[in-house]
Amino acid sequence: MRVVWSSLADEQVDEAVAFIAADRPVAASQWLERLLDQVRSLVAFPDSGRVVPELERDEVRELLVDPYRVVYRRGTNLVEIVTVWHARRELPLDALD
């Protein structure tokens, strides 16, 4: 299994790290490391994330890396990280199709 990041998700991670680092640089680094560790685990365990409740589609799943949702699309040989979204915001479902 291979993991790829959409350009949007990549930008969103950068924005999240910058936002957290504005007040707590060490926490931002720790959050990024947790996020990357969980995403790396998808190589071996692509179904480890939960199905996104708003969609209820088995191939669209998410990891919860507080306070963000890492939404990914699972294929046969590929996991695509689609978006990294703050959990308190409404998830834009049209971006997941």
- What residues does each domain of the chain span? 2-96
Q: How far is CA 92 from CA 46, 86, 96, in A?
A: 22, 11, 7
Residue pLDDT, tens place only, 48-68: 999 999 998 999 999 999 999
d(CA 38, CA 33): 9
pTM (2 d.p.): 0.92
For domain 2-96, is the CATH number 3.30.450.40? no
pLDDT tens digit at each of 97 positions of the chain: 999 999 999 999 999 999 999 999 999 999 999 999 999 999 999 999 999 999 989 999 999 999 999 999 999 999 999 999 999 988 877 766 6
Nearest to 84 by CA among 1, 11, 2: 11
Q: Taking the CA atoms of 81, 83, 89 and 92 in sequence, report the sign of the dihedral they define.
A: negative
